[in-house]
Amino acid sequence: MGTLKYLKKYWFFAVLAPLCMIGEVFMDLVLPKLMAQIVDEGVLDQNISIIVHTGLRMLGCTALGGIFGVLSGAFTNLAGQNYGNDLRKKLYDKIISLSFEQTDKFTTGSLITRLTNDVTAMQDFINFALRGFARSGFMFVGGIIMLLSLNVEYGKITAIVLPLQLFVIIFFMKKIAPAFMIVQNKLDKVNSVMLENVTGARVVKAYVKEEYEKERFENANDELLDINLHVMKTMAIISPIMMILMNVAVVFIIYIGGLQVLAQNIQVGEIMAAINYITMILNSIMMVNMIFRSITRAKASAERINQVMNTEPVIKDGKGFDDEAKNKKYCIEFENVSFSYRDSKGKPIIDNFNLKIKHGERVAILGATGSGKTSLVNLMPRFYDVTSGSIKVEGIDVRDYKLKELRDKIAVIMQKSELYSGSVSDNIKMGKEDAAKEEVIAAAKIAQADDFITSFENGYETMVTEKGSSLSGGQKQRISIARALIRKPEILIFDDATSALDLATEAKLHKALNSELKGATVIMIVQRVASVLDCDRIVVIDNGTVAADGTHEELLKTSKIYMDIYNSQLQILKKQL
């Protein structure tokens, strides 16, 4: 398993844990011998001193075994917990490095399951392996040696019962091994349904779909229950069979031992010791059942984790470039850009798109729904890569940039504002972690957010609930805008990020941007013509390509598409008035 390499760092604990467990098992193996001595030499011969002396030795062995057991548990947890912590961090780092396209392929629910449940399964396997393997293995070998040292005849019973137990374990493990992968996949489905319902709770309630979603969750949960019950039922059959075999072995031990006692070849205490040893041996084989179960489940989880870990990110750092190669004439250049989402059919969403934007220009991109505006925005910071053609920033293909360098230049403000649990200030400072309080306030003022933030009881330290549910849509958008502005980016992209603002507030925002962000290149994806009247240029997109390019006045004269959009919005405005 490739995931086990993360245990190497904690090899010292991983070695000490089984060694201490061997010490505990060794003490357990000594006890039946001492018990036999008490019975045969102390009780039967009525020798009190042997009973006391041997009893004290048994207590000492028990205490020493307990110390070894505690140490084994401590070292196991140190190895297992640290291993799980490192594996979870590495898996999270890998998930973060994947592109949107790749995370969509795995699904969010599945990634959550892999990061939590599957990593926990691997962690449990490590804990069980370090203790269980050593205990069962040493107890099995040591028990056989100690049993044969009492009487070789007992070896015949072991030779008959052990293969039967191993056959039972292998037979049932083969049946349930494939089921563990199915269990994890069903758990993925439960998590996905739950995640969709939690994040989309408002939609569910708005359309009164509570019963439908409840039924959908119950179906997913029932499927998980059914496969879990199948596994548990199969596992439940093993224990009774193993117990029957163990008790049959004990009966034969007593029978053979009784004959040996009658023949005066052994004493009663040795029979008691033999029963203890055969029980230890067979219990160690029963423990193998648990080991196989742990291995089978861990194997399924390891495969699922490795599916993510072995996925190479589609979007990688570029090879880099010499700063002298930069072309300062244009800030952004789209050259014959085409783009299609994976597995999509038909005409590309972006088709042979050409556009050049100068430094400091304010360019609006307008078009009908589905014309490719947002897809175009996602290509600039390389959330996706172009299918063909190239996008250049300062004359350098974006695929040659280091991702951090490219994305430090570009700030994207999405239509859907994502806020996180924490204070308002924390959310704004996500754009610049080391920002001073004055910078936070300045960015909020430009974004027209300062007024409503200061109206809160705790001002900028007001706590934002999960996903910003305590704020209105307009408030969330303005905080998102402030988060982008605090970075003072060279390129600022609004992806319909002012849709929740009224025209008066939006006008104030644009005025503040003009005065405070001089020199920055601004690209605005908009739906409303009223939002773009003061832009240097307006680019009209139709079916993923440039249909028109010019000022508002020019487009009213030359572009039928723009005139149609303008007239339709003007009519709507007149009706509202």
Tokens representing residue 189 in the block = 């489905």
pLDDT of residue 82: 92
pLDDT of residue 261: 66
Interatomic CA distance for residues 67 and 73, integer angstroms: 10
The CA–CA distances, whole Å, from 132 to 276, 297, 361 equal 19, 15, 68
Helices 503-516 & 473-485 angle (0-180, nearest 10): 10
The superfamily CATH assigns to domain 2-309 is ABC transporter type 1, transmembrane domain (1.20.1560.10)
Burial environment of residue 159 by CB neighbours within 10 A (0 to 12, 13 to 18, 19 or more): exposed
Low-confidence ranges of the chain (pLDDT < 70): 1-2, 44-45, 198-208, 261-266, 289, 323-325, 327, 466-468, 570-577
Interatomic CA distance for residues 566 and 556, integer angstroms: 8
DSSP 269-332: HHHHHHHHHHHHHHHHHHHHHHHHHHHHHHHHHHHHHHHHHTPPPSS-------GGG---SEEE
Query: In DSSP terms, which residues pair with 542 in a beta bridge?
Result: 545
pLDDT of residue 205: 67
pLDDT of residue 576: 47
Interatomic CA distance for residues 381 and 395, integer angstroms: 15
Burial environment of residue 566 by CB neighbours within 10 A (0 to 12, 13 to 18, 19 or more): middle
Residues in the chain: 577
Instruction: Tell me if 299 sits within 8 A of 124, measured CB to CB.
Output: no
Q: How much is the pTM?
A: 0.75
- Boundaries of every domain in the chain: 2-309, 323-576
Q: Where are the alpha helices (DSSP H) in 325-393?
A: 373-379
Interatomic CA distance for residues 33 and 58, integer angstroms: 10
Residue 357, by phi and psi: left (phi above 0), alpha (psi -120 to 50) or beta?
beta
End-to-end CA distance of the chain: 69
Q: Where are the alpha helices (DSSP H) in 461-502?
A: 473-485
Residues 6+ apart with CB under 8 A from 250: 275, 278, 279
CB atoms under 10 Å from CB of 21, counted, come to 27
DSSP 500-529: TS-HHHHHHHHHHHHHHSTT-EEEEEES-G
Interatomic CA distance for residues 421 and 416, integer angstroms: 16
Q: 540 phi and psi, to 5 degrees?
A: -100, 125
Which CATH number is correct for 323-576, 3.30.470.20, 3.30.70.890, 1.10.150.20, 3.40.50.300? 3.40.50.300
For 24-90, the three-class secondary structure string (H helix, E strand, C coil) is: HHHHHHHHHHHHHHHHHHHHCCCCHHHHHHHHHHHHHHHHHHHHHHHHHHHHHHHHHHHHHHHHHHH
Q: Which residue bears the tokens 């991983």?
A: 14
pLDDT of residue 577: 41
Q: Do domains 2-309 and 323-576 have the same CATH topology?
A: no
